[in-house]
Structure 1
Amino acid sequence: MYSSVNTIWVLLGAALVFLMQAGFAMCEAGFTRAKNTGNILMKNLMDFCIGTPTYWILGFGLMFAGSGAIIGGLDPFVRGNYSAVLPAGVPLFAYLIFQTVFQVIKHIIGLRVSQEEELKGLDITEHGLPSAYGGFAFVYDDTPDGLPVPATPKAVPVREAVPVEAVPSAPAEVPQGGVKMTRVDILCKMERFDALKRAMFNIGITGMTAINVMGCGEQRGKTEGYFRGAKVEATMLPSIQVSIVVSKVPVSLVVDTARQVLYTGAYGDGKIFVYNVENVVKVRTGEQGYEALQDEESATHSGTDFRNAMTN
C-alpha cells in the first residue's frame, strides 16, 4: 500500500536536489570567465540531459536489478520488479525520479580544461569560432604577463612567424609640423591583445585603435570545427587589428616590442604593416600634424585616441 505522505516527501526531496543543478550552473559560471559562461551553462544542461537516459538504461539496473552482492544486472528503462528495494509506501516511479536526480547531479563536475584553453576561450578551442552563438562578439582576454607560452612542435624564426611589411606610398611633401608620422598596423591573435596593449603602453604608446577582423594566411586557417552541431570549414579566423600612429616613439621599438610579445614560434602569430602618414587632424581643436598627436597635459602622448571598435 502506497503512502501519499511518503511519496510527496520523496518527490519534494527530488525537486530540491534538482534545484542544485541551477546552483552548480551558477557556481561554475562564476568560476570561469565571462566569455565562457554560455559554453559552461550548456555543458551543465547537457550533463543532465544525457545522464538521465543513460541512468535509466544502465545505471538503475546495475544498482538494483539482480541479486549480485556487488553489482546488479541490466534492466533497460526499469521494467523489472523492485518491490524488495523500494522504501515503505513509495511507488517505483517516485523512487526512480529521486535516484535519477541524486545520482546524475552528484556526478556533475566543474570545468575540466587547461589554463591555456580557458584563457583562450572554450568556443574557439572546441569549435574554431570566437563565440558559439550568432553574431560577432568582441572577445579578447587579459592574458597574464608571466604566462608561459606553450612550446609548439613546428617552431619557425621570428621573422617568419611575425613578418613586417613596409607599405610604400607616393612621395609626399614634408608632414605638417615637420615631424615624421608613421602608422603601424598589427594583426594578432585575439588572446594576445591584452598583453600587446600593455606592452605598447609600457614603451610610451598611450593610444591605439582595436578592431575585430576575420582573415587567413597561407595556411588558410583551420579546416575543422562545429557550429550548432554542424561541421564547418573555418578558413577565416578571428583576429585583432591594432592601429597605432607614432611620432616620438621610434617605429623600430614598436615593431620589436610587438614581435617579442606575439612570437610563439608557430605560423599565425601575426603580421605588422608600416605606413607613412601625411597628416593628422584633431577634430576638437583643429590642430594638425605632430601637434594633433600630443596631449595637452603631457608631451609624451604618441598615439591616436583609444577607441574600441566593434564590427559585425
Structure 2
Amino acid sequence: MEYSAVSTIWIMVGTVLIFFMQAGFAMLETGMTRVKNAGNIAMKNLVDYCIGSVTFWLIGFGIMYGGDGAVLGKIKGVAMESVYGGGMLPDGIPFWAFLIFQTVFAATAATIVSGAMAARTKFAAYCIYSLMISLVIYPISGHWIWGDGWLAQLGFHDLAGSTVVHMVGGAAAFAGAWMLGPRIGKYSRSGKSKKIPGHSMPLSVLGIFILWFGWFGFNGSSVLPLTGDTVSLVGKVFCNTNLSAAAGAVTAMCISWAWKKKPDIAMTLNGALAGLVSITAGADVISTPLAVLVGIVSGAIVVGGMHFIENVVKIDDPVGAIAAHGFGGLWGTVAVGLFSDGTATKTKGLLLGGGGYQCGIQILGGIVVFLYVFAASALLFKIVQKTIGLRVSAEDEMDGLDISEHGFSNTYTEVLSSDGISAPMMNVPKIDGKAFDSTENAENLNISKVVIIARKNKLDALLHAMNDINVTGVTITDVTGYGIQKGNNDKYYRSSDADLNLLPKVKVEVIVSTVPVSRVVETAEKVLYSGNYGDGKIFVYDVKNVVKVRTGEVGREALIDESK
C-alpha cells in the first residue's frame, strides 16, 4: 500500500485531539461531583484509558477488525500488521496509525460510564468493568458496524460513533447506575429526588470546552482518506459539529430557564454535550441547517431525559451521562435515517424522499446495540456485585472515595449540601420545659453550647436524634482535621507513610437552654459510638449571653420561639 502523508498526519492529529477528550471528561465529571470524590473520579478517567489501551491491543482489536464475520472478528494475536494484515485499513493509512486511532475511540466509550457511577463505586470493581468493556463489549458491537459486520452489510451508517462509542457508553452507564442504586441522600424517604450539587461548575465548563475542542478531531478525522472532495467534506463536518453543539446548549438553557426560572448551568453543559453526541453519526451526510435541527432536538431530549431518569425511573446519574450519551446517541443514529443526503448511505433519509429503508436500519441498529450492551453490562456488574462487591460501604461513601479508596484526604473543604441527610427535619415540635423533672430543670438555668465533631455518615442519625429530644436548631459545618492518632489509619501518599492526615468530618453546633445538656451529650454519644478510632468528640461550653438580632431579645428568651 502506498501511504498518504497528508491522510496519516490528519489521522494522527485527530488521535491526539480525541485523546485530549479524556481530560475533558475528567474535568466535566469531577466538577459535577462532590470534592471528596474528586481524586477518585479523575483516577478512574486515567485508569480506564490505560487499561483500555492495553486490552484493546491484546484482544479487542482482533474481535473488532480481525475478519469479516457477521457477528465477530477473529482473534489471531496481539494487534500487529504482521498478524492481521491491512485489509481493514483506509486508503493511505499505516496500520499503527489506524490502531492508535481506534484505541482512543475505545477508551472514550469506556470513560463515559465513570460519571454515572460516581461517588459510590468500588475502584477495583470499576477496573474490572474497564477491562471488560474494552476487551469484549465494545469490540463486538463495534465489529457489527465498523468491522464490516452484519449491520454494516445492511447499510447502517455511523461516521464517528453516536452508536459505536456513545450509545455503548450510555447503555453501560444505564446498567451500572441502575445496579448500584442512588447515592446516600439522593432521594427522600418519600422517593423525592434531592439536589446534590457538584463542587465546581467552572471545572465542568472547562471540561465541556475541552470536549468540544476534541470533538473536531473526533468527527473530522473520521473523514478518510483526506484527498479530493473529502477535504471540503471535513469543513462541513466541522461546521455541523459546532452548530449542533451550540444549538443543543442554547435549547437546553432556554428550556431549563422557562421551566425552573433560572438558566441551569449543568443542563446547558449537557445540552452542548448531547448536541455533539447526536451529530456524530451523520455529520458527513446531514446538511448544515438540519444539523442545527439535530442539535435543537438533542437539547430538548437531554433535558427531558435527565428528568425522566432522575424522577421517573429514579436512577441516580450524577453527570447526566445516560441522557446525553445514551439518548443523544440514539437520536443521532435515527437522525441519519431521517435526514441523510444519500452520499454515504444506501438511500436518502426518510424525510428527504428516500423511503424508510435507511431509517429502519438505523432504528434497528440503535435498539439492538443498546439492548446488547445493557444486557452484557448488567451481567458483568451482577457478577462483580456477587464476587468482590460493586458498591463501597455507607461509611466509605460518606467519608468520600478519595480517602476510603485511595487514602488521600482533601486539604480543602466543600460547602455542605444535603450530604447524608435522607429526610429534612420538618414540623419540629414545640418545647415543653415541664417535660423534665426539677433536677433537670436546675441544670437548664444556664445557656450552653455543645459542639459535636463526628463522622459524616453519622450526620443523618444525629440530626434526627437531636430532633427527637427537641433540639430545634443546629449549625453544620464541613471540616477536616485529626485527633490524637493524627488522622493516621495506615494511610500513605506516594508510597510514603502520612505523618499527619486531615480527615473529613462534620461539625454540629447546638445552643441549649431548655433541654438538659446531659441529655444532648448522652444522645449524641449513643448515636456516634462504634468503638473505633474516629468516632468523634463532644465539647461543652458556657455561653455568656445570646442576642436575637431581629427582636433585640437576650438570654434564654432569644432562643425561644415567640409563638410559644
Normalising by structure 2, we get a TM-score of 0.37
**Other-structure match for 1:182:** 448
Give the Cα separation in 1 of the matches to 2:543 and 2:528: 29
Question: Aligned in 2, Cα 1:255/1:62: closer, same or farther, shift over 3 Å?
Answer: same
Report if the CA contact (8 A) 1:216-1:237 is conserved.
Answer: no
The alignment partner of 1:2 has SS state of coil
CA offsets, 1:177-236, max 9 Å, x none?
x9322332222113333543454345332143647352324x564342244665424456
Report if the CA contact (8 A) 1:215-1:239 is conserved.
Answer: no
Give the Cα separation in 2 of the matches to 1:122 and 1:82: 42
Give the Cα separation in 2 of the matches to 1:7 and 1:124: 44
Report if the CA contact (8 A) 1:208-1:243 is conserved.
Answer: yes
**Other-structure match for 2:412:** 136
Q: Which amino acid aligns with 1:44?
A: N
Give the Cα separation in 2 of the matches to 1:278 and 1:18: 59
Question: Aligned in 2, Cα 1:139/1:196: closer, same or farther, shift over 3 Å?
Answer: farther
Q: Which amino acid aligns with 1:279?
A: K
Deviation, structure 1 residue 44: 0.7
Would you say 1:94 and 2:109 are equivalent positions?
no
CA offsets, 1:250-299, max 9 Å, x none?
33432343234323453432232344x2621427466543234335x445
**Other-structure match for 1:208:** 475
Aligned sequence identity (%): 41
**Other-structure match for 1:245:** 511
Would you say 1:125 and 2:404 are equivalent positions?
yes
Question: Aligned in 2, Cα 1:220/1:23: closer, same or farther, shift over 3 Å?
Answer: closer
Give the Cα separation in 1 of the matches to 2:110 and 2:474: 49
Deviation, structure 1 residue 71: 3.7
Report if the CA contact (8 A) 2:452-2:539 is conserved.
Answer: yes
CA offsets, 1:145-202, max 9 Å, x none?
59xxxxxxxxxxxxxxxxxxxxxxxxxxx99xx9322332222113333543454345
**Other-structure match for 2:108:** 105
**Other-structure match for 1:72:** 76
Report if the CA contact (8 A) 1:126-1:225 is conserved.
Answer: no
**Other-structure match for 1:2:** 3
Q: Which amino acid aligns with 1:250?
A: P
Give the Cα separation in 2 of the matches to 1:291 and 1:144: 30
CA offsets, 1:74-127, max 9 Å, x none?
57xx58576444424322233122222133333444343225233331112134
Report if the CA contact (8 A) 1:130-1:137 is conserved.
Answer: no
Unaligned runs of 5+ in 2: 67-72, 123-390, 424-441
**Other-structure match for 1:257:** 523
Q: Which has the higher helix share?
A: 2
Report if the CA contact (8 A) 2:407-2:492 is conserved.
Answer: yes
Unaligned runs of 5+ in 1: 147-173, 300-312
Give the Cα separation in 2 of the matches to 1:261 and 1:120: 17
Question: Aligned in 2, Cα 1:26/1:185: closer, same or farther, shift over 3 Å?
Answer: closer
Q: Which amino acid aligns with 2:76?
A: G
Q: Which amino acid aligns with 2:40?
A: N
Would you say 1:273 and 2:548 are equivalent positions?
no
Higher relative contact order (CA 8 A, sep 6+): 1
Report if the CA contact (8 A) 1:186-1:241 is conserved.
Answer: yes
Question: Aligned in 2, Cα 1:55/1:20: closer, same or farther, shift over 3 Å?
Answer: same
Q: Which amino acid aligns with 1:142?
A: D
Give the Cα separation in 1 of the matches to 2:499 and 2:76: 46
- RMSD of aligned residue pairs (Cα, Å): 4.4
Give the Cα separation in 1 of the matches to 2:109 and 2:527: 43
Deviation, structure 1 residue 40: 0.7
Would you say 1:43 and 2:322 are equivalent positions?
no
